[in-house]
Structure 1
Amino acid sequence: MKQKMQKPDKREYTLMIVPHHGKSVFSLRIPIKIVKYAAVTLGICLTILSGTMLNYRYQANIATQEKIELVQLREVSSKQNVELEELAKATAELQDNMNRLNQLDSDLRRMVNSEESAAVSRSAPVRIANYNGQGGPEVKPDIKQLTTLVNELKASVSEREKSLSNLKDALIEKNERLAVTPSIWPTNGEVSSRFGWRSSPWGMGSSWHPGIDIANDIGTPIVAAADGTVVNSGWYGGYGKMIEIDHGNGIVTIYGHNSRNLVEAGQRVKKGETIAHMGSTGISTGPHLHYEVRVNGTAVNPSTFL
């Protein structure tokens, strides 16, 4: 069965323009095909235009959001740069303080002047970038530099704490040694007799004098030459009223011919503490203090400790 041939659509639209005042009428015939093509084309154009407008609005919204975010990021970045600069300055100041501590540690160790603390600090200075252009061109700090510097400062602080702790122990030990070392004069006055051989004050030739005599008025205060424990306080033969103090490490001091003892056996005394008053008890030719220093039982010249 033969298919029927579709006849072409020959319809037309007539567009008429009727002027006033009896002028001739203008007419325009438009085939239906052209109208259809025009409608399709217009639809396509409107669709494309609508899509373009929607895409434009979408892109415009994205651009607006990105602009807002960019402004916010710039503000945050500007604020972070300021904070970074302040952190760099604070870190640089901290570094300067650490360097001063290093120098102070070294100076203190030289002042201690002992074998166990003579070595200078092993805490090396921390390197730092020239953030302020000192000694070279200006360099902007960055996170990596500051992180490295902070880590170095942490290590330096640890070394500093250890070093100062050792120095503190050394100073405490030295102070303890000084405290128990008879290193001060036990009283005021004139040295009337020194350590060693001397002419006997009673005209009996030469005699060995195991200490020094310091003459002054009766009642002149006598102080402990170092920290220690009183082991004897009372009358002891030719020494008269005598005090004996044990300072440890085999060191003992003796204070004789006192008019009055102010401490008792077993009592702890401090360096510089008044322990007696000067007198002339025992075998004596006048008011004075007989002062002895003994090391492991042997009398030594007290002047070597003063």
Structure 2
Amino acid sequence: MKQTTPKPDRREYTLMIVPHHGKSVFSIRIPMKYVKYTAVTLGICLTILSGTMLNYRYQANLAAQEKYELNQLRVVNDKQHVELQELSKATADLQQDMNRLNQLDSDLRRIVSSEEIVDTSRSASPRLTNYNGQGGPDIQPNVADLKNLVKELKAAANERENSLLNLKSSLTEKKERLAATPSIWPTNGEVTSRFGWRSSPWGSGRGDWHPGIDIANDMGTPITAAADGTVVNSSWVGGYGNMVEIDHGNGIVTIYGHNSQNLVTPGQQVKKGQLIARMGSTGYSTGPHLHYEIRVNGTAVNPSSFL
């Protein structure tokens, strides 16, 4: 079978330009193949342009997505920054709490004036030794871990503070009770009469009941309060002569008699060891001495049991 060769397309388009005013008509012949080539070229250009536009839209969407993610990361970063600032403030507040606890611990030490309270007030801390072994994985805490840690430390600090406050209150009460308990000698000298029955110093040949102790020394020897309290009497009282009476609370009263001079006034608050009078021989007395007496709920008791 004989193959036929396709004939070339000889068609063409004629573009005619007709001017005004009777000028010559101008025509242009455009072969069909040029029209086809132009159409193909335009198609290719349109295809390339479409691809470019699609790629541009894809890149624009991708950039918008990345911008959105970046903004989200900035929001998260700002939030974490705020949280870290809050944690920093919480840590600073916690440090102030710990400083307050340390001050409270120091106050307790001053109250007891010893190291007996070390194990109580620092029970949460291990004792130091010469060993320094350490270890464990190196893990960086996140914000949640730090927040939990601060929360736990705050709870521990509050619990410790309440415990120390209760202990301080108990120790303060105990100290005040001890300070208000006659427990020191009110003056220096020789004990010439003790509590109880004794031979009469007046030479009557019979014994008498002595409700305190007599301490003899030179005229004017200082006399001090045996405990904290309130002066309820500072005057001349019969056989006691110049007498000072101090109420220490809890039904305890001390009496200091035969003074040459009273140095306090009723209503005055005095501290243990404070100068209140000077030794004398006023009232029923055979010489300079202090008559020291302790009464509990109105009954005289042996002062030696308090010394």
Normalising by the smaller structure, the TM-score range is 0.5 to 0.7
- Whether 1:166 and 2:166 are equivalent positions in the alignment is yes
The 2-side partners of 1:209 and 1:253 are apart by: 15
* Contact 2:10–2:32 (Cα < 8 Å) also in 1: no
Aligned pair in 2 of structure 1 residues 196, 221: CA closer, same or farther (>3 Å)?
Answer: same
Post-superposition offset of 1:258: 0.8
Post-superposition offset of 1:111: 5.0
Q: Which amino acid aligns with 2:157?
A: V
Aligned pair in 2 of structure 1 residues 124, 150: CA closer, same or farther (>3 Å)?
Answer: farther
Q: Which residue pairs with 1:191 in the alignment?
A: 191
Q: Which residue pairs with 1:22 in the alignment?
A: none
Post-superposition offset of 1:255: 0.7
Post-superposition offset of 1:103: 11
Q: Which residue pairs with 1:256 in the alignment?
A: 257
Aligned pair in 2 of structure 1 residues 291, 64: CA closer, same or farther (>3 Å)?
Answer: same
- Counterparts of 1:28-177 in structure 2 under 5 Å? 31-32=33-34, 34-52=36-54, 54-55=56-57, 58=60, 61-62=63-64, 65=67, 94=95, 97=98, 104=105, 111=112, 134-177=134-177
RMSD of equivalent CA atoms: 4.8
Gaps of 5+ in 1: 1-8, 14-28, 113-119, 127-132
Q: How many residues align?
A: 266
Aligned pair in 2 of structure 1 residues 102, 226: CA closer, same or farther (>3 Å)?
Answer: closer
Post-superposition offset of 1:298: 1.8
SS of the residue 1:147 aligns to: helix
SS of the residue 2:174 aligns to: helix
- Counterparts of 1:267-286 in structure 2 under 5 Å? 267-271=267-271, 272-286=273-287
**Which has the larger displacement, 30-39 or 184-193?**
30-39
* Contact 2:232–2:245 (Cα < 8 Å) also in 1: yes
* Contact 1:193–1:213 (Cα < 8 Å) also in 2: yes
Post-superposition offset of 1:95: 11
Q: Which residue pairs with 2:294 in the alignment?
A: 293
* Contact 1:254–1:292 (Cα < 8 Å) also in 2: yes
Gaps of 5+ in 2: 1-8, 14-30, 114-119, 126-132
Q: Which amino acid aligns with 1:291?
A: Y
* Contact 2:212–2:301 (Cα < 8 Å) also in 1: yes
The 2-side partners of 1:125 and 1:263 are apart by: 48
- Counterparts of 1:234-249 in structure 2 under 5 Å? 234-249=235-250
The 2-side partners of 1:304 and 1:232 are apart by: 24
The 2-side partners of 1:183 and 1:230 are apart by: 17
Q: Which amino acid aligns with 1:190?
A: E
Moved over 6 A (4+): 66-70
SS of the residue 1:141 aligns to: coil
* Contact 1:180–1:227 (Cα < 8 Å) also in 2: yes
* Contact 1:229–1:269 (Cα < 8 Å) also in 2: yes
Q: Which amino acid aligns with 1:187?
A: T
Post-superposition offset of 1:137: 1.9
Deviations 1:201-225 (A, max 9, x none): 4553554332122222111222222
* Contact 1:102–1:125 (Cα < 8 Å) also in 2: no
Aligned pair in 2 of structure 1 residues 149, 64: CA closer, same or farther (>3 Å)?
Answer: closer
The 2-side partners of 1:233 and 1:38 are apart by: 131
**Which has the larger displacement, 295-304 or 46-55?**
46-55
Post-superposition offset of 1:253: 1.0
- Whether 1:212 and 2:218 are equivalent positions in the alignment is no
The 2-side partners of 1:96 and 1:37 are apart by: 85
Aligned pair in 2 of structure 1 residues 146, 11: CA closer, same or farther (>3 Å)?
Answer: same
The 1-side partners of 2:55 and 2:147 are apart by: 50
The 2-side partners of 1:136 and 1:124 are apart by: 24
Aligned pair in 2 of structure 1 residues 173, 148: CA closer, same or farther (>3 Å)?
Answer: same
Q: Which amino acid aligns with 1:177?
A: R
Q: Which amino acid aligns with 2:140?
A: K
